[in-house]
Protein backbone atom coordinates (compact mmCIF):
# COMPACT_ATOMS: atom_id res chain seq x y z
CA UNK A 1 0.00 0.00 0.00
CA UNK A 2 0.94 3.63 -0.30
CA UNK A 3 0.31 6.70 1.79
CA UNK A 4 0.05 9.85 -0.27
CA UNK A 5 2.32 12.64 0.92
CA UNK A 6 0.78 15.69 2.58
CA UNK A 7 0.63 18.26 -0.19
CA UNK A 8 0.61 21.98 0.59
CA UNK A 9 -2.65 23.86 -0.04
CA UNK A 10 -2.64 25.23 -3.57
CA UNK A 11 -4.14 28.52 -4.77
CA UNK A 12 -6.52 28.23 -7.71
CA UNK A 13 -4.89 30.09 -10.62
CA UNK A 14 -6.56 33.27 -11.92
CA UNK A 15 -6.89 31.89 -15.45
CA UNK A 16 -9.14 29.09 -14.15
CA UNK A 17 -10.94 30.71 -11.20
CA UNK A 18 -12.60 33.99 -10.25
CA UNK A 19 -11.96 35.03 -6.65
CA UNK A 20 -9.93 33.22 -4.02
CA UNK A 21 -10.02 29.43 -4.22
CA UNK A 22 -7.81 26.98 -2.30
CA UNK A 23 -7.27 23.33 -3.19
CA UNK A 24 -6.04 20.46 -1.03
CA UNK A 25 -5.38 17.34 -3.10
CA UNK A 26 -6.64 14.30 -1.19
CA UNK A 27 -5.95 11.72 -3.89
CA UNK A 28 -3.67 12.75 -6.75
CA UNK A 29 -4.66 11.26 -10.11
CA UNK A 30 -2.80 8.02 -10.68
CA UNK A 31 -3.16 4.30 -10.97
CA UNK A 32 -6.24 4.24 -8.71
CA UNK A 33 -8.13 5.78 -11.65
CA UNK A 34 -9.56 8.88 -10.00
CA UNK A 35 -8.50 12.04 -8.23
CA UNK A 36 -10.07 13.77 -5.22
CA UNK A 37 -9.59 17.41 -4.33
CA UNK A 38 -10.98 19.29 -1.35
CA UNK A 39 -11.75 22.70 -2.79
CA UNK A 40 -12.50 25.79 -0.72
CA UNK A 41 -14.25 28.76 -2.35
CA UNK A 42 -14.43 32.15 -0.61
CA UNK A 43 -17.75 34.03 -1.01
CA UNK A 44 -18.43 34.74 -4.68
CA UNK A 45 -15.48 32.66 -5.90
CA UNK A 46 -16.09 30.14 -8.69
CA UNK A 47 -14.45 28.20 -11.48
CA UNK A 48 -14.31 29.18 -15.14
CA UNK A 49 -16.40 27.13 -17.58
CA UNK A 50 -14.84 23.70 -18.07
CA UNK A 51 -15.53 20.03 -18.69
CA UNK A 52 -14.07 16.74 -17.46
CA UNK A 53 -13.21 14.00 -19.93
CA UNK A 54 -14.27 11.29 -17.45
CA UNK A 55 -16.95 13.26 -15.57
CA UNK A 56 -16.93 14.57 -12.02
CA UNK A 57 -18.78 14.05 -8.74
CA UNK A 58 -19.01 17.05 -6.42
CA UNK A 59 -19.91 16.55 -2.76
CA UNK A 60 -20.50 19.70 -0.73
CA UNK A 61 -19.07 19.58 2.79
CA UNK A 62 -19.52 23.16 3.95
CA UNK A 63 -21.32 26.38 3.13
CA UNK A 64 -23.58 27.18 0.17
CA UNK A 65 -22.75 27.11 -3.50
CA UNK A 66 -23.93 26.08 -6.94
CA UNK A 67 -23.20 23.94 -9.98
CA UNK A 68 -24.27 25.34 -13.34
CA UNK A 69 -24.62 23.85 -16.83
CA UNK A 70 -26.03 25.51 -19.96
CA UNK A 71 -29.58 24.57 -18.93
CA UNK A 72 -29.58 23.82 -15.20
CA UNK A 73 -28.59 25.29 -11.84
CA UNK A 74 -28.25 23.13 -8.70
CA UNK A 75 -27.83 24.57 -5.21
CA UNK A 76 -25.03 22.95 -3.19
CA UNK A 77 -25.48 22.66 0.56
CA UNK A 78 -23.63 20.37 2.98
CA UNK A 79 -24.42 16.80 1.94
CA UNK A 80 -25.39 17.65 -1.65
CA UNK A 81 -23.83 15.35 -4.25
CA UNK A 82 -23.92 16.16 -7.96
CA UNK A 83 -22.66 14.16 -10.97
CA UNK A 84 -21.60 15.99 -14.11
CA UNK A 85 -21.16 13.53 -17.03
CA UNK A 86 -18.09 13.44 -19.29
CA UNK A 87 -17.60 16.47 -21.53
CA UNK A 88 -20.59 18.42 -20.14
CA UNK A 89 -19.68 22.10 -19.93
CA UNK A 90 -20.23 23.52 -16.43
CA UNK A 91 -18.90 25.66 -13.61
CA UNK A 92 -19.18 25.57 -9.82
CA UNK A 93 -18.48 27.77 -6.84
CA UNK A 94 -19.74 29.62 -3.79
CA UNK A 95 -22.82 31.81 -3.51
CA UNK A 96 -22.05 35.54 -3.30
CA UNK A 97 -22.43 35.73 0.50
CA UNK A 98 -21.25 32.26 1.57
CA UNK A 99 -18.13 30.18 1.77
CA UNK A 100 -18.39 26.77 0.09
CA UNK A 101 -16.22 23.68 0.24
CA UNK A 102 -16.66 20.54 -1.83
CA UNK A 103 -14.90 17.33 -2.58
CA UNK A 104 -14.24 17.10 -6.33
CA UNK A 105 -13.88 13.49 -7.50
CA UNK A 106 -12.80 13.14 -11.09
CA UNK A 107 -12.08 10.12 -13.23
CA UNK A 108 -8.65 9.76 -14.75
CA UNK A 109 -8.98 9.09 -18.46
CA UNK A 110 -5.66 7.44 -19.08
CA UNK A 111 -3.90 5.81 -16.21
CA UNK A 112 -0.62 7.15 -17.50
CA UNK A 113 -1.81 10.70 -16.94
CA UNK A 114 -0.81 12.28 -13.68
CA UNK A 115 -4.04 14.30 -13.35
CA UNK A 116 -7.67 14.19 -14.32
CA UNK A 117 -8.28 15.59 -17.80
CA UNK A 118 -9.99 18.97 -17.55
CA UNK A 119 -10.70 21.18 -20.54
CA UNK A 120 -10.70 24.77 -19.27
CA UNK A 121 -12.71 27.39 -21.13
CA UNK A 122 -13.70 31.04 -20.69
CA UNK A 123 -14.46 32.79 -17.41
CA UNK A 124 -18.08 33.07 -16.27
CA UNK A 125 -19.39 36.57 -16.94
CA UNK A 126 -20.48 38.64 -13.93
CA UNK A 127 -24.04 38.73 -15.32
CA UNK A 128 -24.17 34.94 -15.76
CA UNK A 129 -22.82 34.43 -12.24
CA UNK A 130 -25.40 36.78 -10.71
CA UNK A 131 -28.26 35.19 -12.68
CA UNK A 132 -27.28 31.65 -11.70
CA UNK A 133 -26.73 32.56 -8.05
CA UNK A 134 -30.19 34.12 -7.88
CA UNK A 135 -31.75 31.05 -9.54
CA UNK A 136 -29.96 28.69 -7.12
CA UNK A 137 -31.36 30.54 -4.13
CA UNK A 138 -34.91 30.55 -5.54
CA UNK A 139 -34.90 26.80 -6.21
MN1 LIG B 1 -15.99 20.60 -12.60
**pLDDT tens for the 139 residues of the chain, in order:** 988 888 899 999 999 999 999 999 999 877 888 889 999 999 999 999 999 988 999 999 999 999 999 999 999 999 999 999 999 999 999 999 999 999 999 988 764 444 558 899 999 999 999 999 999 998 7
Q: Where are the domains of the chain?
A: 10-138
- Residue 51 C-alpha to ligand 1 middle, in angstroms? 6
| Distance of CA 127 from the midpoint of ligand 1 (Å) | 20
> What are the pLDDT digits (tens) for 56-69?
999 999 999 999 99
Burial 111-137 (b: 16+ CB within 10 A, else e): eeeeebbbeeeebbeeeebeebbeebe
Q: Strand 34-41 relative to strand 21-27: parallel, antiparallel, unpaired? A: antiparallel
Sequence-ordered list of residues with C-beta below 8 angstroms from that of 113, at least 6 positions apart, any chain: 29
- Identify the pLDDT of residue 116: 56
Read off the pTM.
0.92
89-114: per-residue pLDDT in tens?
A: 999 999 999 999 999 999 887 644 44
Specify the CATH number for 10-138; select among 3.20.20.70, 3.40.50.720, 2.60.120.10, 1.10.10.10: 2.60.120.10
CA distances from 102 to 2, 79, 91, 92 (A): 24, 9, 13, 10
CA of 98 to the centre of ligand 1 (A): 19
Neighbours of ion ligand 1 (CB under 5 A): 56
The answer to whether the CB of 101 falls within 8 A of the CB of 23 is: no
Amino acid sequence: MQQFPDAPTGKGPAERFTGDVYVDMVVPGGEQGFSVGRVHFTPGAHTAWHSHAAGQVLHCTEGLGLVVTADAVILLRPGSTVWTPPDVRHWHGALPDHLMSHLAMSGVVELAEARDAVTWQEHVSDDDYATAAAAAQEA
